[in-house]
């Protein structure tokens, strides 16, 4: 008797997000990826304040018809309780979704903080949960502080964060997600979890051109059409900031690294984050190949994987395919 091979188990994913136009793309791609089971969204400040991130996360799940997925609201302040936050409304619009003024969602977040939800899920499914972190790393740092076993129980943390051997996007030193809470980022990078970091040295190679945008616009996919409605402002920002007619696919690229890690190559080493001074938010990678003459801040810290190359056309194609494919 022949038996059909059973499909591989889906990867359980929690997306920690600050939606955000490219966050919306990543969330839709995740919902459309048969390799993934999205078990929750957790929210954080960054592109918008946390309360608006929660509202947008709920709204995006409603737009996708997936209100079965829980949303846990994250921290409103940095891990050091700073309330003065850097919010990128000039990139995403004051509503975070291209100034479309969508009606408020009917659904509500669950009664648990993002950090508590992350800890709970890691304990429920040890080694099986992947967190895709698309904003500042505050919630994950709080999870590490809440439960010392979180780092070993979480399956993998895929981080959009850092600028490795290239300039930042907030200033020459810092990438926006790391700059948003550098102390949290340093806690997470050194916590000992299985970490895969995707920096803007990678995501600046992955561009959605105007031609691809038109293809999305002309498809009948409700996901593609929704994204085309909100993406205009993101194109304007890229024209102003980088003089390009395309947009960088930061968040969907990172999400797709969780779907198919072989879209990138990686190196391994220790990442520490500068938490003060003019280079606050700088990610500094030690390849651990040199024995320094003294103990450094990197000595003996756990290593992480950092993406070094990407098959950019394959990432764009996969994203387009996931958005356009039939339900």
Ligand X SMILES: O=c1[nH]cnc2c1ncn2[C@@H]1O[C@H](CO)[C@@H](O)[C@H]1O
- Which residues in this chain contact ligand X in the complex, by CB under 6 A? 20, 22, 47, 88, 91, 169-170, 175-177, 200, 241, 250-251
> At residue 161, what are phi and psi to the nearest 5 degrees?
-175, 135
Catalytic option among 59, 92, 204, 250 = 250
Could you tell me the smallest distance in angstroms from the CB atom of residue 20 to ligand X? 6
CB of 256 to ligand X, least distance (A): 15
Give the residue with the Cβ less far from ligand X, 201 or 303. 201
Output the smallest distance, CB 78 to ligand X, in A: 16
**Residue at token pair 């079965």:** 68
- Residue closest to ligand X, measured at CB: 176
Cβ(135)–Cβ(19) under 8 Å?
no
DSSP 185-202: HHHHHTS-S-EEEE-HHH
Q: How far is the CB of 209 from ligand X (least distance, A)?
A: 17
Nearer to ligand X, 91 or 151 (CB): 91
Output 150 or 180, the one with its CB closest to ligand X: 180
Name the residue nearer to ligand X (CB basis): 71 or 91.
91
Question: How far apart, in whole angstroms, are the C-alpha atoms of residue 184 and residue 206?
Answer: 27
Neighbours of 217 (CB within 10 A): 13
Decide if 95 is catalytic.
no
Q: Judge residue 326's burial from the number of C-beta atoms within 10 Å of its C-beta, 0-12 exposed, 13-18 middle, 19 or more buried.
A: exposed
* Shortest Å, Cβ 123 to ligand X: 29
Residue 231 Cα distances to 21, 61, 216, 235, angstroms: 7, 18, 11, 6
DSSP E strand boundaries for 115-218: 129-133, 156-160, 195-198, 207-208
**Total count of residues recorded for the chain:** 327
Which residue lies nearer to ligand X by CB, 123 or 279? Answer: 279
Q: Which is nearer to ligand X, 121 or 139 (CB)?
A: 139
Q: Which of 16, 18, 147, 183 is catalytic?
A: 18
Alpha-carbon span 139 to 118, nearest angstrom: 8
Known catalytic membership, residue 210: no
- Distance between CA 52 and CA 102 in Å, rounded? 12
What is d(CA 103, CA 248) in angstroms, rounded to the nearest whole number? Answer: 27
The distance of closest approach from Cβ of residue 224 to ligand X in the complex, given in angstroms and rounded to an integer, is: 19
| Nearest-approach distance from CB 325 to ligand X, in angstroms | 24
Cis previous bond, 285, omega within 30: no
Q: How far apart are CA 125 and CA 127, in angstroms?
A: 6
| For ligand X, the closer CB: 95 or 251 | 251
DSSP 305-321: EEEEEE-HHHHHHHHHH
Residues taking part in catalysis: 18, 250
């Amino acid at each position: 008797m022949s038996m059909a091979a059973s499909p591989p188990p889906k990867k359980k994913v929690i997306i920690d997000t600050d939606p955000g136009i490219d966050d919306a793309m990543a969330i839709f791609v995740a919902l459309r990826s048969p390799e993934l089971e999205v078990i929750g969204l957790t929210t954080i400040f960054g592109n918008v304040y946390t309360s608006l991130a929660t509202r947008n996360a709920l709204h995006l799940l409603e737009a996708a018809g997936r209100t079965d997925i829980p949303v846990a609201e994250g921290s409103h302040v940095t891990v050091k309780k700073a309330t003065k936050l850097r919010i990128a409304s000039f990139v995403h619009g004051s509503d975070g979704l291209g100034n479309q003024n969508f009606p408020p969602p009917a659904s509500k977040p669950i009664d648990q903080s993002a950090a508590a939800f992350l800890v709970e899920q890691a304990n429920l499914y040890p080694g099986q949960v992947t967190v895709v972190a698309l904003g500042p790393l505050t919630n994950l740092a709080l999870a590490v502080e809440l439960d010392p076993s979180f780092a070993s129980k979480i399956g993998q943390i895929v981080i959009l964060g850092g600028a490795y051997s290239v300039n930042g996007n907030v200033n020459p030193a810092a990438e926006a997600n790391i700059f948003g809470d550098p102390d949290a980022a340093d806690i997470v990078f050194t916590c000992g979890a299985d970490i895969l970091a995707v920096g803007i040295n990678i995501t600046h190679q992955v561009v959605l051109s105007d031609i691809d945008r038109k293809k999305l616009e002309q498809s009948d996919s409700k996901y593609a059409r929704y994204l085309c409605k909100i993406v205009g402002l993101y194109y304007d920002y890229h024209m102003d900031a980088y003089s390009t007619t395309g947009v960088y696919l930061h968040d969907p690229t990172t999400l797709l690294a969780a779907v198919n890690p072989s879209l990138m190559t990686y190196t391994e080493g220790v990442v520490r984050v500068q938490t003060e001074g003019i280079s606050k938010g700088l990610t500094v990678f030690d390849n651990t190949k040199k024995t320094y003459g003294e103990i450094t801040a990197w000595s003996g810290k756990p290593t992480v994987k950092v993406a070094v190359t990407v098959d950019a056309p394959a990432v764009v194609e996969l994203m387009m395919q996931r958005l356009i494919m039939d339900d």
